[in-house]
Structure 1
Amino acid sequence: MNYQFNLSQIVFLITDKEQDERMVVGVFIEPNGVSYKLACGATTSWHNEIEISSSKNILKTFE
């Protein structure tokens, strides 16, 4: 199975106004898709592929 994001890759949440860097630290495969565990500092959270981007959206920081 191909993954859009790789372990240890730096990514961004498309809805995050601060556009903080997050690192992919886990991948969970389900019948309906792939979820990624992202780390931002000491905090981790799970996200679906559609919530994640490999590029920073600096315009989001001006909202």
Structure 2
Amino acid sequence: MRKRLRMTIEDLSRKNRLSHYVISRLERDATRKMCPWVLGRILPFLASRFKELFGLDGELDQYF
């Protein structure tokens, strides 16, 4: 999703206060375990732009 937003890892790390190392390991799926606090920082930023990224029109379902 970061690439579709045309953001660098550095841009995303500044906005979410995560290190470059954490973001790059998430993208490569090289994390040993997923920490909830990491997702808690990334998902709110990406969720606000989800419709823009995937071109969704109209209403989303209740589970989104």
User: What's the TM-score bracket when you normalise by the shorter of the two chains?
Assistant: under 0.3
Structure of higher CA gyration radius: 2
More helix by share: 2
More strand by share: 1
Provide TM-score, normalisation by structure 1: 0.23
